[in-house]
Homo-oligomer: A and B are copies of this chain.
C-alpha cells in the first residue's frame, strides 16, 4: 500500500506524463498547465529522467537569448506491440515510445487453426521485425471484444468469438513472451487509436464506433477514455429494438454477419462477405433498399441517442460497416439531420484508420500504462 503522500506524488507524476505523451514541453509549460509548483515539477522530471523515458533537448531561442530546455519522450526506451483481436482476423503494429508506428500486420483466421495461434503468429512477426533492428519489445497490449475482466486479464464470453471464452490472455502472453501485457475492450482501444492517430487528434471529446460483427463505442471525454463505473460504457450493440412485436439487441439483428445473412436471403443468393454488397447488380441493389432503409433508421436513432445523451458532436465509425457504401451513409445522415432535436453542427464520418485504430490504440495505451507501472515502481 502506498501512503496518501505517495499517492499524491504518483497522481501528479501521471498528470505530467499525460502532457509529455502528447508533446515536447518545458518545465515552465508543465507548471502552467498543471498548476503544480516548479519544485514539484522539478522532482517529477528528475524522477522521469532517472527512469529514462524522457530526455532534455535544447530548443534554440526565438530571437536572441539562451536556448530553452524542453522535455521529450525517449523514442527507444521501449518498443510496444499492439494487437487487435477482431472477429475474423488479427491485426497488429509495432510502435516506439514516442508513439510512431513502425510496422502493421494483418492476418485472417484460418478455419482449421486455433485463433490464438494466429494471434501468436502476428506477435511473432512483429517481434521478428523488432529484433532485426535490435529493438527491445517490452510491452504487448490488446484490444479485444468484451466483456472482460481487465484486472485478471481474462476475456470473458465475447459474443461471436467463442474460442476466446474465459481465456486468460494476459497470463498466457506474460508467460510466453516475458513482457508487460495489457488488455482493454476493442472499441475503447479503437477510440484511443483514433485520438492519437486519426480524426480525433485535435478533438477533446468524441465517440468512436466499432461497427462489425460486434458493435461497440469508445468514448473520449476531455481527452480521456471514459469507461464508466462498471467499465462497460459504450455498450451500444445491446440497445433494444422492437421489431415485429419482439425485443432484440441491435447487434444480434444488424451486426455485419447478420446484415450479410439478411441480404443473401433477400437477393436469394448467399453472399460470404459485406464487401460483396459493393458489386451487386442494380436490380439486387434495388431489392435490398427497404432493408438498408430500415437499418439506417435503427442505426441513426442510436447515433441520435448518443448525441443527445452525451452532448457530443463528433462520431467516427470504424469496422466493415463502411462497405455498405455512400448511398447508405447519406441515408443515415439525412435521418440524423431530420431528427436532431437541438440544431448544432455534427460531424459523423468513417474512420480512416480501418480497424488498425484498435491495434494502434492498444499499443499507445499499453505504452502509457507501462510508463505508469515504472512511475509507481520508483516510489
Contacts and interface: CB of A to CB of B under 8 A. Distances in A.
A252 B341 CA distance: 12
B311 A233 contact: yes
Interface string A234-248: 111011101000010
Nearest to A306: B309
Interface stretch (A29-37, A104-112, A358-366): A29-37
A313 interface: yes
A315 to B, nearest CB: 12
Interface stretch (A88-96, A136-144, A297-305): A297-305
Given A247-B339, A304-B240, A341-B235, A312 B37 contact: no
Name the residue in A4, A204, A217 with the highest tally of chain B Cβ atoms < 10 Å from its Cβ: A4
Contacts of A64: none
A249 interface: yes
B313 A229 contact: yes
Nearest to A314: B229
Copies, count: 2
B342 A230 contact: yes
Given A230-B344, A339-B240, A341-B235, A37 B35 contact: no
A22 interface: no
A197 to B, nearest CB: 22
Interface stretch (A5-13, A160-168, A173-181, A271-279): A5-13
Contact of A35 (B11, B227, B308, B311): B11
A342 B308 CA distance: 23
Contacts of A205: 228-229
A332 to B, nearest CB: 13
Contacts of A35: 8-9, 11-12, 15, 36, 40
A84 B150 CA distance: 43
B36 A39 contact: no
A40 B309 CA distance: 38
A270 interface: no
B229 A311 contact: yes
A240 B309 CA distance: 12
A232 interface: yes
A109 to B, nearest CB: 25
Nearest to A15: B35
A301 to B, nearest CB: 4
A309 B233 contact: yes
Interface string A195-227: 000000000110000000000010001000011
Given A35-B40, A37-B40, 5 more contacts: A37-B39, A204-B229, A235-B308, A238-B308, A240-B305
Which 7 pairs between the two chains have the least Cβ-Cβ distance?
A: A228-B311, A233-B311, A235-B308, A240-B301, A238-B341, A8-B35, A230-B311
9 contacts: A5-B32, A205-B229, A227-B311, A228-B310, A229-B311, A235-B342, A239-B301, A239-B305, A240-B304
